[in-house]
Amino acid sequence: MMIVFSKSAFVQLSKFEKAMQARIINKLEFYGLQSNPLEFAEKLSGSQFGDYRFRIGEFRVLFDINKEIITILKIGHRREVYK
């Protein structure tokens, strides 16, 4: 699957330390290589920020999926990402 970042998600990712950026990107690449990445995702109720989320440590990656494209919508700490 192809992973695409929204402009705002890319800006959010760029604000993290380099080590955390690498961790998030590596994990997203792992998810993208899986035949069914939704196995590792949780469906969100009330799709204000996206339909699904990945958990990467204390951080959450909110995304939508459409056929073969995962669109990353928001990245943030678990306390703040849903606000």
Is pLDDT of 82 > 90?
no
Backbone angles phi, psi at 3, to 5 degrees: -110, 130
Residue 67 has a pLDDT of 87
61 found inside a domain: yes
82 found inside a domain: no
Is pLDDT of 1 > 90?
no
The domain that contains 11 carries what CATH number? Answer: 3.30.2310.20
76, two tokens: 């943030």
Closest to 52 in 3D by CA, of 34, 37, 67: 37
CB 41 within 8 A of CB 55: no
Domain that holds residue 11: 2-77
Q: What percent of the chain has pLDDT over 70?
A: 99
User: What is the Cα–Cα distance from 6 to 58, expressed in whole angstroms?
Assistant: 21
Q: What is the pTM of this model?
A: 0.92
56 found inside a domain: yes
Number of domains in the chain: 1
